Structure 1
């Protein structure tokens, strides 16, 4: 079995002085919820073997705050190709992952992450599927399980949505 964790960056700052979208950091609410979302993952044993993170400042900072819940912190790679990637690009990125990686996490952006989750989830927890279909808000996490020996076999409808959690579900505030 393989586990894929999709983690959308926390709430970004639209009021700052960032010169580009890529350079936008986190809003105060984003800084407040990123760590607890990482703690939720760690507390349930959802420890990634590898984290693939967008190079956008808001994703890098989200991961920086979330990884504090893991000791030691999982290995992370920062990839330009994840920044504003489509679900197809994200799927190809996942498929290239070494079969030695059992649990993979992507830290990225919408609509790509939400679209990829819906595309892959052929089954799973009905309540999680309903919540996912409504919205994939900032700092949300989807946990998908697959029966495959390698990531290259992953495709539409081949995963089971195990969990979908948002900051609001954890009592961390609005989304």
Structure 2
């Protein structure tokens, strides 16, 4: 059994049209959301922020800032493996990155972007009507959302479609109503 955490970057700033997408920072709401989610990840019983055996992340500015602020709020500075392939990756690429993990850590947290993270959840968790959390993700996996999937595999190399069960899902608005959706979320 393996555990996969999925953490989408917090709300980013679109105000400076001169910036490349990769270089967009978090906006004010994103900075608040990253901190709220960092505390939640720390307090959630399955794994704390540093308890994840491996954290793989996109090196995009909005992801690095999300992790930094989440870590500060949690009072922890986790070690990160930055992987450029995660930046705007689709589900197939994310699965490939996970399958390549050596040492077979029992848990990995993946921090990145949509639509890849959302699609990864859809690919790993069966659409059989038995998981109401999956239905919530079908509605939306918003910025700074955090999900945990239990995987019925012994080795990361064995990662396959429909091998997971979504056991936890929290969105920033679930913890702070002021972080609720708006038209740009």
Q: Which runs of 5+ in 2 are unaligned?
A: none
Inter-CA distance 71–99: structure 2 relative to 1 (3 Å threshold):
farther
Which residue does 1:14 correspond to in 2? 14
SS of aligned partner of 2:142: coil
Matched, 1:39 2:43: no
From 152, 159, 174, the equivalent of 1:154 is 159
Rounded Cα–Cα distance in structure 2 between residues aligned with 1:117 and 1:124: 14
How far the C-alpha of 1:147 sits from its partner, in A, is 2.5
- CA RMSD in angstroms, aligned pairs only: 1.8
Which residue does 1:68 correspond to in 2? 72
Inter-CA distance 99–70: structure 2 relative to 1 (3 Å threshold):
farther
Q: Contact between 2:68 and 2:77, CA under 8 Å: does it hold in 1?
A: no
Rounded Cα–Cα distance in structure 1 between residues aligned with 2:164 and 2:70: 25
SS of aligned partner of 2:180: coil
Moved over 6 A (4+): none
Matched, 1:80 2:84: yes
Post-superposition CA distance 1:53-84 (Å, at most 9, x none): 10110001001111235565332011111000
Rounded Cα–Cα distance in structure 2 between residues aligned with 1:139 and 1:33: 7
Which residue does 1:58 correspond to in 2? 62
Judging by fraction of residues, say which structure has more strand. Answer: 1
Which residue does 2:180 correspond to in 1? 174
Which runs of structure 2 are paired with 1:130-149 in the superposition (5 Å)? 130-149=135-154
Rounded Cα–Cα distance in structure 1 between residues aligned with 2:129 and 2:74: 26
How many residues end up aligned between the 2 structures?
A: 175
TM-score normalised by the chain length of structure 1: 0.92
